[in-house]
Amino acid sequence: MRFDLHLHTTLSDGRVTPEALVFKAAARGLDLLAVTDHDTTAGVAAAQAEGEAWGVRVVPGVELSVDLPLGDGDTLPIHLICLGFDLEDAALQALLARIRAARGAAARETLERLSLAGYAATLPAHLLETSDRTLCRPHLADALVRAGHARSRNDAFDRFLASDTYRTAYALPTAEEAIGIVHRAGGLAVWAHPPPREIDRGAPVLTDLGLDGLEVFRASFRSSPASLYAEEVARHHGLLVGGGSDAHGLTIGEFALTEDLAGPLARALA
C-alpha cells in the first residue's frame, strides 16, 4: 500500500482542487490519502467522492493551527495533522470555524496595514465568498505579487510577511483543547513537521496532552538525520510514526509512505 497523509487543496493554500488532487494521486498509484487543508474540512467530501470513482480511499483530515504552552510563559505555535474523525462533529467544526474567522480578520488587517504603508493589494472575490475556505499567508503573498509589490511569493514573505511590521497575529486554541476535541470526534492527532530545534521540548508536553503520533517522513527530509531523530523521539514516547508530502500542487504522488514506514498509523485509520 502507498499512501500520503498530508495534502492541501484550493480550500486552503493548495494549488489543486480536491478532485484534481485525488485524480493525480490515483494516477501515481496511491491507495490511501488524507486531505489536510489548514483549519477546514470543506474539501474532504468532494475528495472522497472522487476517490470512490478511482479506487482511492480518502480519510477525513485537517491541519489544525494551535498554540503549545511550554512553561515559563513560552508558547510555540504548531500544526497538528488530525485524521479519521467524524466530519460532522459539531465541536470540531465550531473550533475550525473559530480559527478561520480569526485568520480572516488577521488577513484583512494585514492588508490594511500594507495599504496604509503604500502597498495596496486585494484578494480575489472567491477567497472571500464562503466561510469554509481558509485564508492563508500565501494568499496575501500572491496578492502582493499581482499588485506589483513583490516578484514572487518568497519575495513577498521576505519583505512583508515574515515579520510583525505588517503581519497581524491572531488567537489560536491550545493544543490541549484541540487534541481533546479531535479525540472526542473519534480522530487521531499527529504533530506536523516538528521543528528539529523544538522537538525535544515539545514532544513530552504533547505526549502528556494525548498526542497520538509524530510526522517523521516528509518529502523534504525522508531518511535525513532530522527524520531519523524524529523517528527516535516518536519511539521513545510511544507515538505512532506518520508522515506525508505536504504537497500543495502538482507534485502529488511523487512521495508516498509505505506500510514498512508507517503501517501502524495507516491501520489505525482503517
Domain shared by 126 and 228, yes or no? no
Domain shared by 203 and 79, yes or no? yes
Domain shared by 140 and 175, yes or no? no
- The confidence score (pLDDT) of residue 220 equals 60
The CATH number of whichever domain residue 90 belongs to comes to: 3.20.20.140
Domain shared by 116 and 220, yes or no? no
- The confidence score (pLDDT) of residue 128 equals 73
pLDDT digits (tens, 9 = 90+) for 95-133: 999 999 999 999 999 999 999 999 999 998 877 766 788
Last residue of a domain, one of 137, 161, 185: 161
Confidence of residue 43 (pLDDT cuts 50, 70, 90): very high
Looking at the predicted structure, is the pLDDT value of residue 212 above 70?
yes
Domain shared by 7 and 75, yes or no? yes
**Residue 212 within any structural domain of the chain:** yes
**Residue 202 within any structural domain of the chain:** yes
Tell me the residue range of the domain where 152 lies.
102-161
Domain shared by 45 and 75, yes or no? yes
**Residue 140 within any structural domain of the chain:** yes
**Residue 183 within any structural domain of the chain:** yes
**Residue 189 within any structural domain of the chain:** yes
- The confidence score (pLDDT) of residue 96 equals 97
- The confidence score (pLDDT) of residue 186 equals 98
**Residue 122 within any structural domain of the chain:** yes
- The confidence score (pLDDT) of residue 172 equals 94
Determine the residue type at 157: F
Which percentage of the chain shows pLDDT scores above 70? 98
Q: Are 193 and 79 in contact (CB under 8 A)?
A: yes
- The confidence score (pLDDT) of residue 21 equals 96
Domain shared by 153 and 180, yes or no? no
Number of domains into which the chain is organized: 2
pLDDT digits (tens, 9 = 90+) for 19-39: 999 999 999 999 999 999 999
| Paired residues of 82 in beta bridges | 62, 189
Domain shared by 21 and 137, yes or no? no
Confidence of residue 173 (pLDDT cuts 50, 70, 90): very high
- The confidence score (pLDDT) of residue 221 equals 57
**Residue 69 within any structural domain of the chain:** yes
Provide DSSP, the chain. -EEEEEE--TTTT-SS-HHHHHHHHHHTT--EEEE--BT--TTHHHHHHHHHHHT-EEEEEEEEEEEEEEETTEEEEEEEEEES--TT-HHHHHHHHHHHHHHHHHHHHHHHHHHHTT------GGGTS-TTSPP-HHHHHHHHHHTTS-SSHHHHIIIIISSTTTPPP----BHHHHHHHHHHTT-EEEE-S--TTTHHHHHHHHHHTT--EEEEEETTTTTSHHHHHHHHHHHHTTPEEEEE--B-STTTTSS-EEHHHHHHHHHHT-
- The confidence score (pLDDT) of residue 245 equals 92
Confidence of residue 232 (pLDDT cuts 50, 70, 90): very high
Last residue of a domain, one of 161, 179, 207: 161
pLDDT digits (tens, 9 = 90+) for 60-90: 999 999 999 988 788 999 999 999 999 999 9
**Residue 166 within any structural domain of the chain:** no
Q: How much is the pTM? A: 0.93
- The confidence score (pLDDT) of residue 133 equals 86
What's the rounded mean pLDDT across residues 231-252? 93
What's the rounded mean pLDDT across residues 40-60? 97
Domain shared by 114 and 90, yes or no? no
Last residue of a domain, one of 141, 161, 181: 161
Domain shared by 70 and 199, yes or no? yes
Domain shared by 6 and 91, yes or no? yes
Domain shared by 8 and 91, yes or no? yes
Distances (CA, A) of 219 to 83, 245, 257: 19, 5, 10
Confidence of residue 94 (pLDDT cuts 50, 70, 90): very high
The CATH number of whichever domain residue 154 belongs to comes to: 1.10.150
